[in-house]
Amino acid sequence: MNYNLSQIPERFEKPRQKGLTMVMDKGLSLRQVEDFLEVAGSYTDLVKLGWATSYVTPNLKEKLAIYKSAGIPVYFGGTLFEAFYIRGQVDEYRRVLDQYGMEYAEISDGSVEMNSDVKCEFIHQLSKQVTVLSEVGSKDEAKIIPPYKWIKLMRMELEAGAWKVIGEAREGGNVGLFRSSGEVRQGLVEEILTEIPEESIIWEAPQKSQQVWFVKLVGANVNVGNIAPNEVISLETIRLGLRGDTFDHFLTK
């Protein structure tokens, strides 16, 4: 840090299991990636190339190399896995992971119907090849999953070999964990946390109000994802109680 302040919550050092910031890259240029990493690389733990943007991204290998040189794991969004799955091309998906030297992968079923046992088998098999993140929740705002099922699915997917489970919210933060207004489904999150360890979950929380809510609930070292590249510094100040929304949250009363 640039100077000393007391009563700042401790942040775990990278590489870490708690306090992760997962950034969504929706199509940054190579120069933009370099600029982003210069400013916020030290606060970024993972980068997701959103949904299936990697299919159309120019200079994909060069982009991946820049992230790798910065020591930041990068993975393709879960929708890409679903695109291969729905076409019966999962073996080809695995070859793509090898082709691009991917060490992480996301398995999701937010846009397709997939039996949970089938999904868990994919997680189990793929976890022998890469570190797997699995996403729970639907991208359809009309599909409401009850809390007990969120818990059951998260537990199953972790037991199948997922490193972390991701709570679905999309890049807008208006489905899954959240109502269409962006309001947190508070009861859902709190019930999940009674059964699933907080360090095993990455909560997609692209909106500032959502990030504030999770920091106040879980603490400075909550795992959050789908953060815009230009919001990483802002999020870090929220984590540290250095923005108005959390200013007095960590101060000794």
Angle at which helices 147-160 and 186-193 cross, to 10°: 40
Structure tokens at 102: 């991917």
Residue 10 CB neighbours (<10 A): 10
Dist CA 193 CA 199 (whole Å): 10
pLDDT of 81: 98
Nearest to 133 by CA among 95, 166, 173, 171: 166
- Of 47, 95, 89, nearest in space to 70 by CA: 47
Burial of 111 (0-12, 13-18, 19+ CB in 10 A): middle
Q: What tokens does 224 get?
A: 């959050």
pLDDT tens, N- to C-terminus, the chain (253 residues): 999 999 999 999 999 999 999 999 999 999 999 999 999 999 999 999 999 999 999 999 999 999 999 999 999 999 999 999 999 999 999 999 999 999 999 999 999 999 999 999 999 999 999 999 999 998 777 788 999 999 999 999 999 999 999 999 888 888 899 999 999 999 999 999 999 999 999 999 999 999 999 999 999 999 999 999 999 999 999 999 999 999 999 999 6
Domains and CATH numbers, the chain: 21-246 (3.20.20.70)
Q: Where are the beta strands (DSSP E) in the chain?
A: 21-25, 46-49, 74-76, 104-107, 131-136, 164-167, 201-204, 224-227
The tokens describing 112, both together, are 């397709």
Check residue 173 and give its pLDDT.
Answer: 83
Gap between the Cα atoms of 44 and 29, Å rounded:
18
